[in-house]
Copies of this chain bind each other. A is one copy, B any other.
Amino acid sequence: MTMSMHGNLSYQELMRRYRRIGILGEVSSMLHWDGAVMMPEASAAARAEQHAELAILKRELLVDSRMGALIEGAWDEDLDDAQQRDVALLERQRLRMMAIPSDLLTALTRQKSKTEIEWRAARAAKDYKAVAPALARLLALVKEQAAALSDSLGLDPYDALLDGFDPEMTAERVDALFLDLSTWLPELIQAAIDRQSTDPAPPPFDGSFAAATQHRLGEQAMAALGFPFDKGRLDLSTHPFTGGIPQDIRMTTRWDEADPVSGLLAVLHETGHALYEAGLPASRIHRPSGRSVGMTLHESQSLFIEMQMARSPAGAVWLSGLMTEHFGPQPAFEPEALGRRLRRVERGFIRVEADEVTYPAHVMLRYRLERGLLADDLSVHDLPEAWAAGMEDLLGVTPPDDALGCLQDIHWYDGAIGYFPTYTLGAMAAAQLAETARMEMADLDARVAAGEVEAAVAWMREKVHAEGSLHGTDDLLTRVTGRPLETGAFRRHLEGRYLDG
């Protein structure tokens, strides 16, 4: 590294250009939120064209040959650690983008929109065959994408896709972690179900719970966690998600007037995602090192709030108070009864409704199947059968139809192969972070029970959010918890909560 005579001119110009790309990404993100929350149905085609055009523009800015020269120039400049990280991350992002020809990018973007629309109809009609041809076409394009990335990055095709969601993660690593899980999880599921069979069932909810009141309750919980309502909002959508940008966070949920808990848990989960974005370092806005690390850490943030805090005995005390305040007292809201509901273990069909004990089984199934699909070991035609067999194998249940089976998740129909593992990797990371947080803050659970939940968020903000992506997932976990990602804390958490608790 030599000192430049004129300061870091290449680096500065590189960041100026990256900022433009980042702002186009912000625009896409706002439009994505609008598409799920506000957009009229028949406007979908125009919106798809907008997304395609923004993707192409971002690509053009990123692959521009001048960017390559600037990256080379920047490496010769006197950069601090964060700046070096910026250049390295940007170089990687550019390499990934250059691997994908513009025609393929357009075809992918269009086929994703088309397949997703057909999937919605197919799922409503429980008719997998109706969407299978579109899925096959999309999968063929994803395979092209994986092959192109594989060549460019020198990674296996599946790893090349996984790397797009969780940098540095590999199938070899996932295999090892999931193999470990598979040695103890099936027994733990059975033991947890056996154990709770002697508990009384959670009392049913009494009455109807107005959506408007649930909305106020949800916003109160978000405020307690430190959600910045001056630069964010909560709206409704079919599937809860967190969109927007750190300066304009758009969170969504849905309310069930017969069940005041499910929507609230979705809000708590999404607030974890939202606070990660809100807590990213403002000093490194529009720099690669100022962004979130990847989906494993992102999911760890939502699961830290939802699973580690809210569903704990202390969390049940907090939520019990909130629910009683808004809906009056009833047996189902008693802390102990509410806790039993929040920690109920059941072998079900639907991933997003699964408890944290059976959830990894849902993920392992999808991981197994999507690797098969990508490697041509499994055909789109045979997916429903393979799904049913896998559910029987991993959870001992067989879905009665494909809406409760291979049509339930949007991911594959949106071209996302390599995303699913991050849910369970995130659960592991959340357990690891929570274990450390509880060691460093002995009164953490007492504070959560008292509603001082922002204490947990403050710790996470300092340890994780404020780092941006200065470090990869394993580096960051090692810095904070002393160990890279592993299954130990997750196992101790589940055993402690479901067997000994």
Which of A225-233, A371-379, A398-406, A444-452 contacts the other chain? A225-233
B50 touches A231 (CB 8 A): no
Is A27 an interface residue when CB atoms closer than 8 A count as contact? yes
Query: For residues 19 through 34 of chain A, which have their beta carbon under 8 Å from a beta carbon of chain B?
Result: 20, 23-24, 26-27, 30-31, 34
A248 to B38, alpha carbons, bound, how many Å? 10
| CB contact between A27 and one of B50, B228, B231, B245 (< 8 Å): that residue | B50
Which of A39-47, A88-96, A160-168, A180-188 contacts the other chain? A39-47
Q: How distant is A467 from chain B, measured CB to nearest CB, in Å? A: 22
Q: Which residues of B contact A34 (CB under 8 A)?
A: 30, 34
For A23, A31, A233, A245, which residue has the most chain B Cβ atoms within 10 angstroms?
A23
B245 touches A40 (CB 8 A): no
Is A247 an interface residue when CB atoms closer than 8 A count as contact? yes
Is A191 an interface residue when CB atoms closer than 8 A count as contact? no
B247 touches A45 (CB 8 A): yes
Q: How distant is A308 from chain B, measured CB to nearest CB, in Å? A: 28
A230 touches B46 (CB 8 A): no
A23 touches B50 (CB 8 A): yes
Q: Which residues of B contact A228 (CB under 8 A)?
A: 42
Given known pairs A43-B231, A247-B43, A248-B43, the reply for A50 and B26 (CB within 8 Å) is yes
Is A121 an interface residue when CB atoms closer than 8 A count as contact? no
Is A64 an interface residue when CB atoms closer than 8 A count as contact? no
Given known pairs A40-B230, A248-B39, the reply for A46 and B27 (CB within 8 Å) is no
Q: Which residue of B lies closest to A228 (CB)?
A: B42
B46 touches A233 (CB 8 A): no
B231 touches A42 (CB 8 A): yes
Is A49 an interface residue when CB atoms closer than 8 A count as contact? yes
For A24, A38, A228, A233, which residue has the most chain B Cβ atoms within 10 angstroms?
A38
Q: Which residues of B contact A247 (CB under 8 A)?
A: 42-43, 45-46
For A40, A53, A57, A230, which residue has the most chain B Cβ atoms within 10 angstroms?
A40
A38 touches B233 (CB 8 A): yes
Is A54 an interface residue when CB atoms closer than 8 A count as contact? yes
Interface size class of A (residues with CB under 8 A): 20 to 34
Q: Which residue of B lies closest to A26 (CB)?
A: B50
A155 to B402, alpha carbons, bound, how many Å? 67
A23 to B233, alpha carbons, bound, how many Å? 27
Query: For residues 43 through 75 of chain A, which have their beta carbon under 8 Å from a beta carbon of chain B?
Result: 43, 45-47, 49-50, 53-54, 57
Q: Which residues of B contact A233 (CB under 8 A)?
A: 38, 40
Q: How distant is A278 from chain B, measured CB to nearest CB, in Å? A: 11
A41 touches B230 (CB 8 A): yes
Q: How distant is A24 from chain B, measured CB to nearest CB, in Å? A: 7
A24 to B46, alpha carbons, bound, how many Å? 12
Q: Which residues of B contact A31 (CB under 8 A)?
A: 27, 30-31
B230 touches A42 (CB 8 A): yes
B245 touches A46 (CB 8 A): yes
Q: A393-433 vs B: 1/0 string, CB under 8 Å? A: 00000000000000000000000000000000000000000
A248 touches B53 (CB 8 A): no
A40 to B50, alpha carbons, bound, how many Å? 23
A361 to B248, alpha carbons, bound, how many Å? 42
Q: Which residue of B lies closest to A231 (CB)?
A: B42
B27 touches A27 (CB 8 A): yes
Q: Which residues of B contact A54 (CB under 8 A)?
A: 27
A248 touches B26 (CB 8 A): no
Q: Which residues of B contact A50 (CB under 8 A)?
A: 23, 26-27, 30
Q: Which residues of B contact A27 (CB under 8 A)?
A: 27, 31, 50, 53-54
A248 touches B47 (CB 8 A): yes
Q: Which residues of B contact A231 (CB under 8 A)?
A: 40-43
A49 to B23, alpha carbons, bound, how many Å? 8
A247 to B38, alpha carbons, bound, how many Å? 14
A57 to B39, alpha carbons, bound, how many Å? 25
Q: Which residues of B contact A30 (CB under 8 A)?
A: 31, 34, 50
A375 to B484, alpha carbons, bound, how many Å? 69
A47 to B26, alpha carbons, bound, how many Å? 9
B53 touches A23 (CB 8 A): yes
Q: Which residue of B lies closest to A56 (CB)?
A: B20
Further 15 A-B residue pairs, CB within 8 A, beyond A27-B31, A40-B231, A46-B245 = A20-B53, A23-B50, A26-B46, A30-B34, A30-B50, A31-B31, A34-B34, A40-B230, A41-B230, A41-B231, A42-B228, A42-B230, A42-B231, A43-B232, A43-B247
9 cross-chain CB contacts under 8 A: A27-B53, A30-B34, A38-B38, A40-B233, A41-B230, A42-B247, A43-B231, A43-B247, A57-B57
Pairs A-B, 6 closest by C-beta atoms: A43-B248, A46-B247, A42-B230, A42-B231, A23-B53, A43-B231
